[in-house]
Structures are given as structure tokens and as C-alpha cells.
Amino acid sequence: MTQSLHERNRAALARALRRILPSEAVLTEKEDLRPFECDGLSAYRALPLIAVLPETVEQVQAILELCQVNEVPVVARGAGTGLSGGALPHREGVLLSLARFNRILEIDAANRTATVQPGVTNLAVSEAAAVHGLFYAPDPSSQIACTLGGNVAENSGGVHCLKYGLTVHNVLGIEMLTMEGERLRLGGQALDGPGYDLLAVMHGSEGLLGIVTEVTLRLLPRPPTIQVLLAAFDSIPAAGEAVARIIGAGIVPAGLELMDNPSLRAAEDYVHAGYPTEAAAILLCELDGCEAEVAAQTERVRALLQAAGASEVRVARDDEERARFWAGRKAAFPAVGRLAPDYYCMDGTIPRKRLAEVLERIAALSEEYGLPVANVFHAGDGNLHPLILYDANRPGELRKAEEFGGRILEICVEVGGTITGEHGVGREKIDQMCVQFDADELRYFHALKKAFDPDGLLNPGKAIPTLHRCAEFGAMHVHRGRLPHPELERF
């Protein structure tokens, strides 16, 4: 049988790649490519033409140079825990796995830094730094598996981002490769440097600008005292009011997380954290610092929670109970997965004062679409994670879930927020980028992409929509009586 063009391309490219890598590091068979077909967002799937597993920077340089000359798309991948389809392979491209870049190169306790390869897991850094009394602050729920290269690509957050910031606030420098294989160092040990802040540009760039090969992280001293309060509320608006009162009082907790009844019940059944399952919502508030400061803030926060209408306030009695309180929150996503065959995880950010309003509108949309929603979110910074429950085996339910999710994101923009807080845009939210940004802003995004990757070979089709796509999306979705991009009607 005559080979298809697709197969001939695969064979020729594989031969060239095996001149760079050991044969076993170049994967071409379907069963070997299957583990790379999706990320944590399993609604989208695609097999790459080829997957490669390099071990050295020089190998990655050679791969990129080969793909550049032959105009082959490249998609970089870490642990595949992303939730927006950002690491979805290109069917005619190379999937570049950085899994073998998994070494912690240095822990510099005196300067409080860690230098790591991009395949090192988030949690491994804090574990390695603990002997020095240090930790790495950003802590996504997937921290046991997600990698630092992926954290940079998505500008990941976590429950402690309220006080300690996102990945961009905790990275001092990176080494990266351009699509042409050019090696660049951005940032360094100093707090500031001359020129444009290209280090910040790389955060949240989702693999569109370059391949991260090394990251230097800021480590922080572990707080001497940590306390967690759990408050139960009879309504979500009351819990939202408690968040506003705490932040309004000038208190910045290490973490401030809210879970509604469906999510807290699921978490309780999953990990037995001791949550009050009759509550409409619970709020977890972590305070850290010196002993006297934490003791004073604990009493102040307790009073604020009670004034906001908390039906119950618990203060963790010991480290074990504190760990249990957080275990439920950290396990919320897998726990909710037991409530339905599938769920669609959204990620949007809103002003805290609009919290109750937006949650009420999400509840109304849930009724409209006939799909339940469990809400888990970083309440302190307004980062929502509505989990839309559905069954992909039922015809049309995935489409309904996607449309429902898109409308949630559009509400976030409408109230002054954004379509992502930490999960990125990837493929999932690319149409909502047309709502978030106007044509001129999108043109600047494309200009920046072209400056780093003139031929558009790095992770094509992700994160930044074409103006033509926005015109088509606008034609299908009229918002408040007008198109999102009326200036694009001519396209």
C-alpha cells in the first residue's frame, strides 16, 4: 500500500531526528504517542506527528534548528497537567517533551535561590529547600506533578498566591531557546536590570515565544507560625462578605479559599477533612508570620468572620488538623470528578466586590443549561474555578458545557475581570480572547509573537486568536446588541 504524505513526512523527519537523539528518544508509533494526546483538559485530543525526549540543551537546540529549516511546528510539554489545552500536540508537528530535564541544579541557601531544569516538579523544590528552612511559594493544586517550565508557561498561582504572588513574582531568571535555537538568558540574581522586562513577557506566554531550559527561583524563609481558620456560612454571599471584610481590614492572609456546598461535600467524601457538609459554603483562611502577630490576627479574623454571619468558626488545633483542612481544598478537583462522568474546569478572575453577583449569574446559567456547577476558588484575589458537570457520552453535552463555560468567562470580562487567572488561554479560551481584547491589542500580541518566532512554528493556534477568527466569532456571538469587533466585519 502506498504511504500517505503524512506517513512519509513522519518517516523522513524521524530519520533526521534520530541523527540528533538516541533512537528510543524519538517516538513515532501510535501507542507511544498516545500519552501525549491531551493535557489535564481531556475534552481536546490530538496525536503529534512525532514526540521527542531530549536530555540536553544542545539536543533541544538541534531539534529546533531542524524544525525551523523544515517549517515543522513544535509544541513544548512538561507534565501535561495544564487545564486549557495549551500543551495539545500539533498533528503535523513535533511534541517536545522536557520530562528528562528533571534536575535541581543548585539550592543557594545564602542567596535564597534555587536553580532548576524545567522538568522539576513544583513540590520537589520546596522539599529540597526545607532542610534550609526555605520554601517556594507558588503552589498549584497539581504541585506534586506539575513542572516549573509549565508553571512559567502558564504563570501558575496556587492557594498562597494572594500573599506571595504568582510564578512571575517568584522567578529571578530563566534560560530559554528561540525557535532558531538561539540561547538567551533573561533576568538574573539582581532585583532589576536594564532594558525591556523580557523575563515577565515569558511568564504566561504558553510556549509561543521560546522553550524554557532553566529557571532560577526565589526561595522564602518558612514562617515560624502558621494558623488556619475554617468558617462555615449559610449562604455564598455571606462568605463573599467575609472575604471583603478581611481584605478591607488590611489583613493579607497567606491563603483565602472558598468552596461551595457541592465541592466541599465531594472533598469531604474523598479525603474526610472534617468539613461541615451542611454549610452552603466554607472559607479557609491561612495566616502566617511570627507567633504574636499570628495570634493577634487569628482573633481579629475570627471576629470578622462572625460579624459577616459565619455559623461556625474553627481554628486548627494542631498541624495535623491544619493539613486536613488544606487536604480537602487541594483535592477538590479530583473529588468533584466523582460527581459526574466529566467536568469542564473554568478559570476566570473578577473584582472581589462582584463575587456574589457573578456566582448568582453562574447559578442562573446552570439552570438554563441544565448542567450542575461546583465552585472552588481563590476568594482572596477573585480567581474563580467553576467546575461544570456533564456527561460526554450524551450527545451535545460537551458542546453545551463549552458554551456555558464561554459565557462564564464573558461575564468575568463584563464585570471588569479577565478570562484567566492561572490556567492560561491555550485552545480552550481562544474565542474569549476576542471579547477581552480589541483588534489593535491583538495586533500587538501578534507582533510580539513574530519578533520571537517569525514563522509562527512554536505552539501555533494557541492563546492568541487571528483577527479572522475574532471576526467569525463576533458574527456568531452578538454581545449586548453589538459585535465584539465591528471593525473586523470586512474580513
pLDDT, tens only, 474-489 = 765 544 434 444 444 3
- Please tell me whether residues 348 and 457 are part of one structural domain: no
Euclidean distance between CA atoms 220 and 111, whole angstroms:
10
- The model's pLDDT over 47-77, given as tens digits with 9 standing for 90+, comes to 999 999 999 999 999 999 999 999 999 999 9
Phi, psi of 187 (to 5 degrees): 75, -160
Q: Is the pLDDT of residue 196 over 50?
A: yes
289 domain-assigned: yes
Whether 198 and 186 have beta carbons less than 8 Å apart is answered as yes
Enter the pTM of the model.
0.92
CATH code of the domain covering residue 112? 3.30.465.10
- Please tell me whether residues 140 and 181 are part of one structural domain: yes
Q: What angle do CA 156, 25, 30 make, to 5 degrees?
A: 85
- Residue 386 pairs in a beta bridge with 375
244 domain-assigned: yes
- Please tell me whether residues 297 and 276 are part of one structural domain: yes
Average pLDDT score over residue span 244-255:
95
The residue among 414, 442, 470 that closes a domain is 414
Contacts of 39 (CB under 8 A, 6+ apart): 77, 80, 81, 82, 83, 84, 85, 86, 87, 88, 426
Contacts of 476 (CB under 8 A, 6+ apart): none
Instruction: Note the residue count of the chain.
Output: 491
3-state secondary structure the chain: CCCCHHHHHHHHHHHHHCCCCCHHHEECCHHHHHHHCCCCCCCCCCCCCEEECCCCHHHHHHHHHHHHHCCCCEEEECCCCCCCCCCCCCCCCEEEECCCCCCEEEEECCCCEEEECCCCEHHHHHHHHHHHCEECCCCCCCCCCCEHHHHHHHCCCCCCHHHHCCHHHCEEEEEEECCCCCEEEEECCCCCCCCCCHHHHHCCCCCCCCEEEEEEEECEECCCEEEEEEEEECCHHHHHHHHHHHHHCCCCCCEEEEEEHHHHHHHHHHHCCCCCCCCCEEEEEEEEECHHHHHHHHHHHHHHHHHCCCCEEEECCCHHHHHHHHHHHHCHHHHHCCCCCEEEECCEECCHHHHHHHHHHHHHHHHHHCCCEEEEEEHHHCEEEEEEEECCCCCCHHHHHHHHHHHHHHHHHHCCCECCCCCCCCCCCCCCHHHHCCHHHHHHHHHHHHHHCCCCCECCCCCCCCHHHHHHHHHHCCECCECCCHHHCCC
Name the band, by pLDDT with cuts 50, 70 and 90, for residue 9: confident
The residue among 221, 256, 288 that closes a domain is 221
424 domain-assigned: no
- Side chain identity, residue 333: F
Query: Can you give the C-alpha Rg of the chain in angstroms?
Result: 23
Which class for 320: exposed (0-12), middle (13-18), buried (19 or more C-beta within 10 A)?
exposed
Euclidean distance between CA atoms 208 and 330, whole angstroms:
29
197 domain-assigned: yes
Euclidean distance between CA atoms 75 and 457, whole angstroms:
8
Given this model, what pLDDT does residue 28 score? 97
419 domain-assigned: no
Pairing label, strands 94-97, 74-77: parallel
Split into its structural domains, the chain has a count of 5
Half-sphere exposure for 383 (CA within 13 Å, toward CB)? 22
Find the domain containing 314 and state its range: 225-334
- The model's pLDDT over 83-122, given as tens digits with 9 standing for 90+, comes to 999 999 999 999 999 999 999 999 999 999 999 999 999 9
**Closest CA relative to residue 326, chosen from 120, 159, 102, 450:** 159
C-alpha cell at 5: 504524505
CATH code of the domain covering residue 359? 3.30.70.2740
CATH code of the domain covering residue 18? 3.30.43.10
- Residue that is written with C-alpha cell 526545607 in the block: 130
437 domain-assigned: yes
Q: Is the pLDDT of residue 382 over 80?
A: yes
89 domain-assigned: yes
Given this model, what pLDDT does residue 98 score? 98
C-alpha cell at 51: 514526540
- Please tell me whether residues 30 and 128 are part of one structural domain: no
Name the band, by pLDDT with cuts 50, 70 and 90, for residue 138: very high
Name the band, by pLDDT with cuts 50, 70 and 90, for residue 443: very high
Q: Is the pLDDT of residue 22 over 80?
A: yes
- Please tell me whether residues 197 and 230 are part of one structural domain: no
Given this model, what pLDDT does residue 488 score? 40
- Please tell me whether residues 456 and 403 are part of one structural domain: no
Name the band, by pLDDT with cuts 50, 70 and 90, for residue 195: confident
**Closest CA relative to residue 335, chosen from 154, 141, 140, 87:** 141
- Please tell me whether residues 406 and 454 are part of one structural domain: no
- Please tell me whether residues 372 and 323 are part of one structural domain: no
The residue among 306, 334, 362 that closes a domain is 334
Euclidean distance between CA atoms 184 and 214, whole angstroms:
10
C-alpha cell at 353: 466586590
- Please tell me whether residues 372 and 476 are part of one structural domain: no
Euclidean distance between CA atoms 413 and 348, whole angstroms:
9
CA dist 167 to 253, 309, 489, Å? 18, 34, 38
Q: Which of 136-140, 344-348, 482-486 has the lowest mean pLDDT?
A: 482-486
- Please tell me whether residues 137 and 87 are part of one structural domain: no
CA 245 to chain centre: 28
- Please tell me whether residues 328 and 347 are part of one structural domain: no
Contacts of 407 (CB under 8 A, 6+ apart): 365
Given this model, what pLDDT does residue 5 score? 67
Average pLDDT score over residue span 403-430:
96
Mean per-residue pLDDT of the chain: 93
**Closest CA relative to residue 139, chosen from 360, 330, 421, 309:** 330
**Closest CA relative to residue 76, chosen from 179, 230, 191, 170:** 179
Average pLDDT score over residue span 21-35:
97
- Please tell me whether residues 180 and 262 are part of one structural domain: no
Given this model, what pLDDT does residue 389 score? 97
Handedness of CA 437, 441, 446, 449 (dihedral sign): negative
420 domain-assigned: no
